[in-house]
Amino acid sequence: MAKKPRRQFTDEQKSEAVKIVEQLGKPISQVAREMGLTENG
């Protein structure tokens, strides 16, 4: 079975995720789900 290629995210997308966690105090897991990510992906 072939592996799926890893998704790549822009620096802007990463910054937005961090900003949401830091400023709004949302859990990382919640922000990840909302952005269609995995917590450690």
Residue range 1-41, pLDDT digits in tens: 788 887 888 899 889 999 999 999 999 889 888 988 776 65
Terminus-to-terminus CA distance in the chain, angstroms?
Answer: 21
Q: Tell me the pTM.
A: 0.66
pLDDT value at position 23? Answer: 96
Backbone angles phi, psi at 23, to 5 degrees: -80, -40
Which two structure tokens, joined as six digits, stand for 10? Answer: 């822009």
Domain residue limits, the chain: 10-41
What secondary structure does DSSP assign to 1-41, as a single string? -PPPPPP---HHHHHHHHHHHHHH---HHHHHHHTT--TT-
Backbone angles phi, psi at 28, to 5 degrees: -55, -40
pLDDT value at position 5? Answer: 83
